[in-house]
């Protein structure tokens, strides 16, 4: 009996040699940004939540990839051809780090791009809105440029003394954009952008998540084994909070609240992994 049957579906002209549109973003980055180590190339994808509930979202997805200061995004549908479905975004003076993300919020599409010197947020139309006005158009046709950048794009210049090497992004229940950055010196920077359109919000806030005391940092007792090497964000609906999971070089996992900035838990990942000798004895 066949339980599952897989099939590969390829999209014609995925990542076209030349995008249909190019948008240039001025990052106001410092000149020494270009002297930082070259960030890794990265890519990602996004599928619309509850896509099976509406024909406009079914089998429709976004793909993106980054290379230096260039971001290429494409939208595809397996059921029909989308118009104006590719775009290239170039960030002047600041290269993109791994960790871009796309979300839906309050009837809009939110795309977050972390770079070496700043965090950018772009607002686009949701397919529901486009289908009523222009059927068959890609959401990328509403990607802001020119005069629309002032209304549908915002950014936060990073204040950390060390350059970020990777990021994790999430969207809170209240519409806040949360970005956690793993810095080259092993520390973690948390950037929060207020909900789009909330004029009463304080704007962007930046905080360094520290698990060691001020005296330890003053005496420089921390070492490289304490450095953060990777991180991820996870939104918890039951407590209406987004948690930052940080893995350190010494095998410790620390969990932070992005709302209260409290350290919620510290555990050792090494204790969860059986020693090699035990695994060898348990194997048949």
Domain ranges for the chain: 16-157, 158-284
**Cα-flanking dihedrals φ and ψ of residue 149, to 5°?**
-60, -35
- pTM score: 0.85
Tokens of 262: 């409290």
Q: What is the mean pLDDT of residues 197-205?
A: 77
For residue 233, pLDDT over 70 is answered with yes
- Categorize the per-residue pLDDT at 134 as very low, low, confident or very high, splitting at 50, 70 and 90: confident
Contact partners, residue 211, CB within 8 Å, separation at least 6: 254, 263, 266
Q: Which residue do the tokens 């897989």 mark?
A: 6
Is the pLDDT at 3 greater than 70? The verdict is no
Q: Does 158 have pLDDT greater than 60? A: yes
DSSP string, 108-130: EEEEEEEBSSEEEEEEEE-HHHH
Q: What is the DSSP track for 131-143?
A: HHHSTTB-GGGG-
């Amino acid at each position: 009996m066949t339980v599952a049957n897989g099939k590969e579906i390829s999209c014609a002209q995925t990542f076209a040699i030349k995008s249909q549109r190019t948008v240039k973003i001025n990052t106001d980055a410092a000149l020494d940004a270009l002297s930082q180590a070259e960030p890794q190339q990265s890519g990602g994808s996004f599928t619309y939540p509850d896509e099976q509930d509406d024909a406009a979202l079914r089998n429709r997805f976004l793909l993106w990839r980054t290379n230096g200061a260039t971001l290429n995004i494409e939208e595809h549908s397996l059921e029909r051809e989308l118009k104006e479905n590719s775009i290239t975004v170039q960030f002047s003076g600041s290269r993109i780090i791994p960790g871009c993300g796309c979300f839906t919020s309050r009837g809009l599409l939110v795309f977050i791009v972390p770079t070496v010197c700043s965090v950018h947020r772009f607002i686009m139309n949701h397919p529901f809105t486009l289908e009523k006005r222009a059927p068959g158009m890609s959401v990328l046709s509403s990607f802001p440029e020119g005069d629309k950048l002032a209304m549908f794009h915002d950014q936060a210049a990073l204040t950390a003394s060390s350059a970020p090497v990777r990021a994790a992004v999430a969207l809170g229940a209240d519409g806040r954009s949360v970005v956690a950055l793993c810095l080259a010196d092993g520390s973690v920077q948390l950037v929060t952008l207020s909900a789009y359109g909330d004029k009463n919000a304080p704007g962007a806030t930046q905080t360094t998540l520290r698990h060691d005391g001020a005296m330890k940092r003053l005496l420089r007792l921390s070492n490289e084994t304490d450095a953060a090497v990777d991180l991820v964000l996870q939104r918890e609906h039951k407590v209406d909070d987004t948690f930052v999971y940080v893995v350190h070089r010494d095998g410790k996992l620390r969990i932070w609240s992005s709302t209260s900035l409290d350290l919620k838990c510290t555990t050792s990942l090494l204790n969860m992994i059986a020693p090699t000798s035990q695994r060898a004895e348990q194997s048949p």
